[in-house]
Structure 1
Amino acid sequence: MDAFAERSLCSATGLHGASPGCLMPEAEVDLEPARAITLGCGPSDEDGLIRCHSHGFPSPLARWHCHEEYELHLIAATSGEAFVGDWIGTFDPGHLVLCGPQLPHHWRSLDAPPEGVPQRDLIIHFSQEPIFEAAGKIPEFVEAVQLLKRAQYGIEFFGMAASAEKHWKGIERARGLKRFSVFCELLSDLARCTDYRLLSGVQASGGNDIKAINNLAARIAIDPSGDMNTAEAASELGMDAGRFGRLFRRSTGYGFVDYLNRVRIKKACLLLMQTERQVVSICYEVGFNNLSNFNRKFLEIKGITPKEYRKRSQRRLELGSSPSV
């Protein structure tokens, strides 16, 4: 798998979330179907209430997603844009947020070096049921329940980064009762922190909307030739155009029309490499309605013309290497 293919795992639709001003290499479109919405939880072979892990950037876990677990998320490196429910803001190292179940979230680095960073996110996942159940019998858990109820909106904590990192390292090393003990210390510190703010204006049960966006993006990736505009796509999903546009951009990193064009160019690149068909034939097959628009978009996205792309791909294949599509 080449570097692009690895980066393309960064979102369920196969698009990296970097904005045009990002120093990361330009992302492209992966033609694979959408992946599970819960991918952002990360793999785990751990048993018990608490899961502790970290990842770098880019990563298949750095994407717009939601899940059933609570997530405490500490940014250790890079700066960029943060999305929590309907809140959009910025982040820097030390950004600490607690997200409740089914609250969509995503951190998009805008200043990561081309080679990426090995450890950007320190994360703790845990389930709510055991804590809420325990609060019915153990009064000491009541303050934790109050904290977790607030987290349904997403909580950003200030001045807690160093303490949270210390606790994260302690939880990562420990097992059994010791791990639970350190976790309780962390919950206590968060519950007693008074310097915080709630982020999302609404409690987000955004799973269905995100799944609908991902399914639409996956369908387009499989067959981008259909004639659909933003208003029609929004209507199909039962959303107004503004909400659809915001969710689609958060999920894929691109506006709907830009995404559609990039998928079409991606497919055109494959056809240029794998077939001898004329450029005009490929143009219409991937969904463009005139050759001049196709050539213009191809040049804009790939930096070269379709004919030059075919020539370069043939030369690279003769040399035993495959060009990036």
Structure 2
Amino acid sequence: MEFSEKPSDLEVILNEPQHSFRWYEHDYPFPLARWNHHPEFEIHLIRRGTGKLLAGDYIGHFGPGHVALIGPGLPHDWIGDLAPEQCIRGRDLVLQFDGESLLRLRERLPELGELQPLFERARRGVEFTGQTARHAARLLEAIGRAAGLRRLLLFLSLLETLARAGAAESRTLASPHYSPRLDSLTTRRINQVFDYILDDLAGEIRLSVIARRLRMSEPAFSRFFKRTTGHTFVDLIRKLRIQRACRLLLQSRQSIADICFQVGYGNLSNFNRHFRHEMHETPSEYRRRLGQSPGPAAGGSAAASADPP
């Protein structure tokens, strides 16, 4: 499928007439599971699977039970770890709502003013953990089974749960200075970049290739990418490759050398150096700390060619 045939970068959210918010679940991959933005608030639960959450200039790991609140206009994407042709059924549960309309009800329902601080934080994205995330996940599932007034009451209970989360169970994601550019051309270009990176993550990724595809000079592309995502092109590739290596270290018994080459590095020395830079420990230490015994000893010497970024 050509990129121009894929869903729009701006997600258009239409509530059903009988509902004040939208609740739905979907598999992954899914057409709308992309780097996108919208004017609504979004509460997002990951039921299963792992990967990277991108929210503005934030990049971090997610796993089962991950709960996040994304504010209006904040670009976001949950990029999953998938084997070729793999599909994760029912991975995502999504609730989207118009927070501004809700706050306008404060004239009649002043208690709703307690949501203002939560909604302000959400403009940079908020991730929830611990008991808050577990309770929020249960409420999100219950909302999908409810109807009418009961559904609305559960929604308000969910917002209360998130609003009352302490500092130990919530954190803001995007940096304070992050300022996204949300024009459609920018988002189309970023989607093309992610398509290229994720399709070739284990191979050779060249800035010159994607710059040429976007009809930009290399310096212009570098400035555009940094300004839009908050990361350099090389930094983002390193983060995604090391994240994939972490998954393989925990979920497989492959040798560290095999994993090194599988995630796109041409030699073990650079892989170890980049891994330590991102994780503050070696691949062996990471695997040992999290209780996964290594696979067979690495065979052969690492390739001498320079690895991609």
Shorter-normalised TM range? 0.5 to 0.7
Describe how 1:183-198 pairs up with structure 2 within 5 A.
183-194=155-166, 195-198=169-172
Structure 2 unmatched runs, 5+: 197-211, 239-309
Equivalents in 2 of 1:189, 1:246: separation in Å?
31
1:134 aligns with 2:105: yes
Give the partner amino acid of 1:214: R
1:125 aligns with 2:101: no
User: Which residue in the other structure is 2:43 paired with?
Assistant: 72
User: Which residue in the other structure is 1:318 paired with?
Assistant: none
1:154 aligns with 2:128: no
1:168 aligns with 2:147: no
Do 1:65 and 1:105's aligned partners in 2 also have CA atoms closer than 8 Å? yes
Identity %: 31
Describe how 1:1-325 pairs up with structure 2 within 5 A.
5=1, 30-33=2-5, 35-39=7-11, 45=16, 47-111=18-82, 114-159=85-130, 160-194=132-166, 195-202=169-176, 206=180, 208-209=182-183, 211-214=185-188, 228-233=216-221, 239-240=223-224, 242-243=226-227
Do 1:104 and 1:207's aligned partners in 2 also have CA atoms closer than 8 Å? no
Do 1:65 and 1:104's aligned partners in 2 also have CA atoms closer than 8 Å? yes
Structure number with the bigger relative contact order (C-alpha 8 A, sep ≥ 6) is: 1
Give the partner amino acid of 2:41: Y
Equivalents in 1 of 2:231, 2:180: separation in Å?
10
Report the alpha carbon displacement of residue 202 of structure 1 after superposing the two structures with TM: 2.9
User: Which residue in the other structure is 1:12 paired with?
Assistant: none
State the TM-score, normalizing by the size of structure 2.
0.60
Report the alpha carbon displacement of residue 204 of structure 1 after superposing the two structures with TM: 5.5
Report the alpha carbon displacement of residue 58 of structure 1 after superposing the two structures with TM: 0.9
Equivalents in 2 of 1:112, 1:43: separation in Å?
33
Q: Pick closer, same or farther for the CA change 1:228–1:187 going to 2, 3 Å.
A: closer
Q: Secondary structure at the match of 1:32?
A: helix
Equivalents in 2 of 1:211, 1:226: separation in Å?
11
Q: Pick closer, same or farther for the CA change 1:66–1:248 going to 2, 3 Å.
A: farther
Do 2:39 and 2:72's aligned partners in 1 also have CA atoms closer than 8 Å? yes
Give the partner amino acid of 2:218: T
Do 1:85 and 1:105's aligned partners in 2 also have CA atoms closer than 8 Å? yes
Q: Secondary structure at the match of 1:38?
A: coil
- 1:82-131 Cα distance to aligned partner (Å, 9 max, x none): 10111111111111110110011111111457331111111100001222
Give the partner amino acid of 1:167: L
Q: Pick closer, same or farther for the CA change 1:225–1:212 going to 2, 3 Å.
A: closer
Give the partner amino acid of 1:100: G
Equivalents in 1 of 2:79, 2:72: separation in Å?
20
Do 1:56 and 1:118's aligned partners in 2 also have CA atoms closer than 8 Å? yes
Q: Give the structure with higher Rg (CA).
A: 1
Structure 1 unmatched runs, 5+: 6-29, 256-325
Equivalents in 1 of 2:172, 2:178: separation in Å?
13
